[in-house]
Amino acid sequence: MALAIHFHDQLQQPHDASLRDETLAGFAASPKWASPKFFYDRRGSELFEQICQQPEYYITRTEEQILAEAANDILDIAGPHSDLIELGSGASRKVRLLLEALHPTSYLGIDISEDFLLSSTQRLAADYPWLEVHAACTDFSNELNLPDDFSSEHPLMFFPGSSIGNFTPGEAAAFLQRLHDVLPAGGGLVIGVDLVKDRAVLEAAYNDRAHVTAAFNLNLLQRIRNELDSDIDPSRFVHRAFFNEAESRIEMHLISPDAQDVTIEGRRFHFDAGESLHTENSYKYTLESFAALADAAGFDCRGQWTDRRGLFSVNYLER
Ligand code: AVJ
């Protein structure tokens, strides 16, 4: 029997033009930057899954543990919801803990990576025959439109993994405000948020000994080479990640140890020796600073759960 996945293709995969235009804009800027949303081609998504299994990368493991212990408490506070909407669903493993406890009528997975979205929603449909599974491939960072034919009277949104950390606090507030506007009264949001902690623990998580994070970061250049007309050579860059305490964020960079010129789509860009391409920010919050952000976006922070070491938090926000 064919698996009933409702694939909503009126929401289009981010266009190639966005990789091209944003890459050219970032390389022309000073300091140079690239958007972390372009990490997730097929290879990048696979590398991210491997990052999640590294001993130093506490985020995924800790969030899963919190959800396993708190899913029933969260849902006691949230009350019944007919539909679960997952933003940035990726491999969709953590959501299983919520699906099993909530037992909604339908699930909608939204992700920027089409391959991953299809295979993970197919697995969910196979494992939960009672669940109506929907998938929409879209970049929800700029705007969020739910498919017209996905009706949701009592939606619960799930935004795991501290993906909100890729936004600056100002962008995060605006993003939460958009979710608030999309949700009907009684809707809610379960959101995973990474917490400020000891620098050594943070920096180890983004400099794993197996160098998977380095490969993930460098894959961005390989993607530019694969999908754009470019001679950029990933082997002429090195990975660097550190905690910027003043900004409360992990920064990831690709450093050009030597001076070099690269061309992208017929344009030439010069790197001085030691110059950086800034590829990612990953903001870290305290329980208080995140509750204040949610509050500013109009949400009511009804619950916060954390692990024993206080590494990570799962928050329930009500519309
Ligand atoms: C998916 C944005 C939450 O910031 O920890 C992991 C991405 N980058 N290792 C994070 C990431 C390097 C991740 N987020």
Total structural domains in the chain? 1
User: Looking at the domain assignment, is residue 215 inside a domain?
Assistant: no
User: Looking at the domain assignment, is residue 205 inside a domain?
Assistant: no
User: Looking at the domain assignment, is residue 7 inside a domain?
Assistant: no
Judge whether residue 2 has pLDDT over 50.
Answer: no
- The CATH code of the domain that includes 90 is 3.40.50.150
What range does the domain containing 165 cover? Answer: 53-196+283-317
Q: Looking at ligand 1, which residue's alpha carbon is closest to its atom 13?
A: 163
User: Looking at the domain assignment, is residue 4 inside a domain?
Assistant: no
Task: Give the pLDDT confidence of 170-192 residue by residue, as tens digits.
Answer: 999 999 999 999 998 889 999 99
How much is the mean pLDDT over the chain? 93
- How far does residue 35's CA lie from ligand 1's centre (Å)? 12
Q: Looking at ligand 1, which residue's alpha carbon is closest to its atom 14?
A: 163
> What's the average model confidence in pLDDT over 128-137?
93
Residues with C-beta less than 6 Å from any ligand 1 atom: 51, 59, 161-163, 165-166, 206, 213, 280, 282
- Confidence grade of residue 13 (pLDDT, cut at 50, 70, 90): low
* C-beta separation of 26 from 38 below 8 A: no
Mutation choice for ligand 1 from 38, 60, 162, CB with most ligand atoms inside 8 A: 162
Q: Which atom of ligand 1 is nearest to the CA of 205?
A: 9
**Whole-number pLDDT of residue 1:** 36
> What's the average model confidence in pLDDT over 309-314?
98
- How far does residue 252's CA lie from ligand 1's centre (Å)? 10
**Whole-number pLDDT of residue 15:** 60
* Alpha carbon distance 22, 252 (integer Å): 18
Task: Give the pLDDT confidence of 54-82 residue by residue, as tens digits.
Answer: 999 999 999 999 999 999 999 999 998 99
User: Looking at the domain assignment, is residue 210 inside a domain?
Assistant: no
User: Looking at the domain assignment, is residue 213 inside a domain?
Assistant: no
- How far does residue 45's CA lie from ligand 1's centre (Å)? 11
User: Looking at the domain assignment, is residue 192 inside a domain?
Assistant: yes
User: Looking at the domain assignment, is residue 78 inside a domain?
Assistant: yes
Q: What percent of the chain has pLDDT over 70?
A: 96
Ranges 99-108, 151-160, 203-212: which has the least confidence: 151-160
- Confidence grade of residue 119 (pLDDT, cut at 50, 70, 90): confident
